[in-house]
C-alpha cells in the first residue's frame, strides 16, 4: 500500500524550494506550518485512497 512521504515532502518544500522564505514575506502570515501540514495531509490522503488504487491490476502484474 502506498504511503505518501509527508516528512520528506515538507522538508523539500521548506529547505529546498524556499517555502520558509515565502512564509517570511509580508502578506503571507496565513501561510503557517499548520496550514501547510493540513494541505499536505489531505493531498496524501487523496493520493493514498483515490489515486494509488487505480492501477492495482498493473501493480499486481508487475510484482508477479
Ranking 3-12, 22-31, 48-57 by mean pLDDT, the lowest is 48-57
**pLDDT value at 52 more than 90:** no
Dihedral (Cα; 33, 34, 36, 38), 10-degree rounding: 160
> What pLDDT is recorded for position 57?
72
CA-based angle 19:39:6, to the nearest 5? 75
Which are the contacts of 44, defined by CB distance < 8 A and separation ≥ 6? Answer: 3, 4, 6
Whether residue 28 contacts residue 22, with contact meaning beta carbons closer than 8 Å, is answered with: yes
Query: pTM for the whole thing?
Result: 0.76
Amino acid at each position: 500500500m502506498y504511503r505518501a512521504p509527508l516528512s520528506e515532502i515538507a522538508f523539500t518544500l521548506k529547505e529546498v524550494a524556499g517555502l520558509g522564505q515565502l512564509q517570511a514575506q509580508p502578506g503571507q502570515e496565513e501561510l503557517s506550518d499548520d496550514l501547510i501540514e493540513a494541505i499536505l495531509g489531505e493531498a496524501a490522503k487523496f493520493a493514498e485512497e483515490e489515486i494509488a488504487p487505480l492501477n492495482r491490476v498493473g501493480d499486481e502484474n508487475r510484482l508477479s
